[in-house]
Amino acid sequence: MKPTIVIIILIVLDGFVIAVVCRIYAILQRESAYKRDVALGDDRLIYIRKMIDTLYTYNHNAEKLRKHIVELMTVDVLMAYHVITPSDRTKYDKMNCRKADKLLCKLSDMGFTPRELCVIFSLNNINSVYVKISRMNKRLKESGADSV
């Protein structure tokens, strides 16, 4: 055989092997994403069941019901059950400040209203949300990280 034919055959085989490896990798990635989505859905379903159980258990006592609903609406619980999942790649991540303040701003950017943030972070006054967000934005501008 001529060396050019051998080289052409090797190039074609390399291309074929690369195509097969890429296809297998894509299939594995898709399966991994599917498993992750199923796990997130399961966590959210558990959270819904906790809410239903709370309503059933405490529906006769308004004060206890309110207390347990408030506990289920905290940011830690909502994140633990993947009800809210803020991005880890935002302009606030590079700032040196409290994790809760960063999270509040991320959720605000995701479209949560100040009223919702007030409930999630157990803040007593809606103005507290506006103050925290404005302070974070001021820090962001001072640090020059707002161009991210």
Residue type, 92: Y
DSSP E strand boundaries for the chain:
none
Quote the pLDDT of residue 148: 46
Extract the tokens encoding 105. Answer: 């701003």
Per-residue pLDDT reduced to its tens digit, 116-130: 999 999 888 899 999
C-beta of residue 112 within 8 angstroms of C-beta of residue 132: no
What the block records as the tokens of 32 is 């991994």
Domain ranges of the chain: 86-148
- The CB-side HSE value for 19 (13 A sphere, CA atoms) comes to 6
Rounded alpha-carbon distances, angstroms, from residue 3 to 6, 7, 8, 9, 15: 5, 6, 9, 10, 18
CA distance 72 to 50: 8
pLDDT band at 140 (very low <50, low <70, confident <90, very high): confident
Q: What is the mean pLDDT of the chain?
A: 85
Segment of 20-24, 54-58, 104-108 carrying the highest mean pLDDT: 54-58
